[in-house]
Structure 1
Amino acid sequence: MPQYLKIVLMTITAIVMNGYLTSLGIDTVYRFIIAIPIIWLVAWLLEKITTYFKK
């Protein structure tokens, strides 16, 4: 998976997560604490999926 594509997907995930957590009424500080692990999890899953389909 190209590096730029991973960054784009992580950015989109971050924006979506941020919007969703804002709609729940969560403060900015907690938003970061919640969002960062989820973003890393999504990136890791995408990497696993792409390597699986390359085989």
Structure 2
Amino acid sequence: MIKMGEIMNNILFKIPNEVTKEDVINKVNYFKEKSQEISEVFEYDVTNG
């Protein structure tokens, strides 16, 4: 019988955790785009909030 802790350890630590340079660049670009979108929302916000 497998315990819940063993299952969590397998999920968290036994999966290959290799991140490529391209993965990092893609994530950075994603967050950069999202932050620009959010900035534009506040830039054109005319409410008094």
The two structures have a TM-score, normalised by structure 1, of: 0.44
Question: Between Structure 1 and Structure 2, whose CA radius of gyration is higher?
Answer: 2
Q: Which fold has the larger relative contact order, with Cα–Cα distance below 8 Å and residues 6 or more apart in sequence?
A: 1
- Quick check: which one's helix share is greater? 1
